[in-house]
């Protein structure tokens, strides 16, 4: 049994930021991460450019110095690795938190390592910073589970000279289509909206529109996918069923948080929004000494919280615990 003041579940930027805030307050914390640090960012497309500028991705007062205004995935990973190295945060990587129980002193948290071994922790408080990128939004259409259908995009090279269906119309779909086109694929984007989404990164949209105008990318608005088949997809476009041939399909339909662990801890939720019940000034949930940090606080609206604002949740948590524990 390993003992610490706080267990943080999730080693993304917001979980790391919470660890740094707690460390600065003199509170011992261990971060449990099922991959390695910033695993979600590692899973982003190879050439992903952030919406935020480098300074908006900084955590713990460590400067993110970058020569370009918008850093890419590789720059962010380098930065977060360096922060962990310099700060000495306690990271339990390649461990998956599987259970939480109340104890006399606080909580018992059980995790499973990648080799199958079990680790037991005792702690006084728990912070959930698990994000949402591991759980894609499913369309629930026939054929969505076929092996040529993907919910994540890495890079375009394997799809050179191939016909590709891209489902979705926001940043992930637009970025995927552009990368595929650059690598010589023939992408066709199917979006259920009637116009381009206002959430598309403003420096990306002109390039995408130019590709559509030049015939390098096909774009179909008002499109609802009916079925995915081995040789293409059946789509309702403006109410008319049409079949489009393709060899691969990227369903870039967004992602949602996993509330399994929060429910195990007994946290209450708003049924309409999917948002955990929490105090906005302390980030404490309906369960005493169970806190949330990062996008998990946004419930079903994943576009409400980003690294930019989620990185400050740890300050609220550490201030609450420092005040609470100094009084006891």
What CATH number is associated with residue 222? 3.50.50.60
> Which positions ≥6 away from 10 have C-beta within 8 Å?
31, 32, 33, 128, 129, 130, 131, 293, 294
Q: End of a domain among 207, 232, 251?
A: 251
d(CA 207, CA 198): 15
Residues paired with residue 121 on neighbouring β-strands, in sequence order:
2, 109
Strands lying side by side in the sheet with 240-245: 223-229, 232-237, 240-245
Range(s) of the domain holding residue 205: 149-251
CA distance 277 to 1: 30
Q: Specify the pLDDT at position 306.
A: 77
Tell me whether residue 140 is in a domain: no
Q: Are residues 107 and 16 in the same domain?
A: yes
Q: Are residues 209 and 259 in the same domain?
A: no
Residue 123 CA to residue 219 CA, distance in Å, equals 52
pLDDT of residue 135: 84
Show which of 217, 251, 285 is a domain's final residue.
Answer: 251
Q: In terms of domains, do 193 and 275 share one?
A: no
Q: What would the two tokens of residue 172 be?
A: 């992930």
Rounded distance, CA 233 to CA 228, Å? 4
* 141 domain residue, yes or no: no
Closest by Cα among 255, 259, 258, 277 to 268: 277
Residues 260 and 120 occupy one common structural domain = yes
Residue 270: the pLDDT is 86
At 328 the pLDDT is: 60
Instruction: Report H helices in 61-198.
Output: 73-87, 171-182
Distance CA 44, CA 243 (A): 30
Coil, helix or strand at residue 57: helix
Same domain, 29 and 6: yes
Output the pLDDT for position 245.
Answer: 97
Residues 170 and 318 in one domain: no
300: in domain: yes
Residue 210 forms part of a structural domain: yes
143 in a structural domain = no
Asked if residue 19 belongs to a domain, the reply is yes
DSSP 155: -
Domain presence at residue 142: no
Q: Do 95 and 157 fall within a single domain?
A: no
Q: Please check whether residues 296 and 237 belong to one and the same domain.
A: no
Q: What is the pLDDT of residue 59?
A: 96
How many domains would you assign to the chain?
2
Q: What is the pLDDT of residue 304?
A: 74
Residue 144, domain member (yes or no): no
Residues 62 and 107 in one domain: yes
Same domain as 167, residue 127: no
Other CB atoms within a 10 A radius of the CB of residue 8 amount to: 34
- For the chain, residues with pLDDT lower than 50 are none
Report how far apart, in Å, the C-alpha atoms of 327 and of each of 3, 255, 322, 323 are.
Answer: 21, 41, 9, 6
| The two structure tokens encoding residue 246 | 């393709």
Which of 251, 271, 292 marks a domain boundary? 251
CB 4 within 8 A of CB 28: yes
Q: What is the largest CA-CA distance in the chain?
A: 68
Statement to judge: residues 245 and 263 lie in one domain: no
pLDDT at 68: 82
| 230 and 171, same domain (yes or no) | yes
pLDDT tens, 212-260? 999 999 999 999 999 999 999 999 999 999 999 999 999 999 888 778 8
């Amino acid at each position: 049994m390993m003992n610490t003041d706080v267990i943080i579940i999730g080693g993304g930027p917001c979980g790391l930021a919470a660890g740094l805030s707690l460390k600065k307050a003199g509170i011992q914390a261990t971060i449990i991460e099922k991959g390695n640090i910033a695993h979600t960012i590692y899973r982003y497309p190879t050439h992903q450019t952030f919406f935020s500028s480098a300074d908006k991705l900084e955590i713990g007062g460590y400067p993110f110095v970058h020569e370009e205004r918008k850093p890419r995935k590789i720059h962010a990973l380098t930065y977060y690795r360096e922060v962990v190295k310099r700060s000495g945060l306690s990271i339990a990587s390649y461990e998956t938190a599987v259970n939480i129980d109340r104890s006399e002193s606080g909580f018992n948290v059980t995790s499973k390592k990648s080799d199958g071994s079990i680790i037991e922790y005792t702690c006084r408080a728990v912070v959930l910073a698990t994000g949402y990128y591991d759980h894609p939004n499913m369309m629930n259409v026939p054929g969505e589970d076929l092996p040529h259908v993907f919910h994540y995009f890495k890079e375009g090279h394997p799809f050179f000279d191939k016909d590709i269906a891209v489902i979705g119309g926001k940043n992930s779909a637009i970025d995927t289509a552009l990368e595929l086109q650059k690598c010589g694929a023939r992408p066709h984007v199917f979006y259920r909206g009637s116009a381009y989404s206002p959430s598309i990164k403003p420096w990306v949209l002109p390039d995408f529109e130019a590709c559509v105008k030049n015939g390098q990318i096909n774009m179909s608005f008002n499109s609802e996918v009916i079925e995915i088949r081995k040789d293409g997809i059946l789509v309702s476009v403006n109410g008319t069923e049409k079949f489009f041939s393709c060899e691969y399909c990227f369903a870039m339909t967004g992602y949602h948080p996993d509330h399994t662990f929060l429910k195990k801890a007994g946290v209450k939720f708003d049924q309409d929004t999917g948002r955990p019940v929490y105090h906005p000034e302390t980030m404490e949930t309906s369960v005493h000494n169970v806190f949330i940090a990062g996008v998990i606080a946004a419930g079903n609206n994943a576009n409400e919280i980003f690294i930019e604002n989620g990185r400050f949740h740890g300050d609220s948590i550490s201030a609450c615990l420092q005040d609470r524990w100094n009084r006891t």
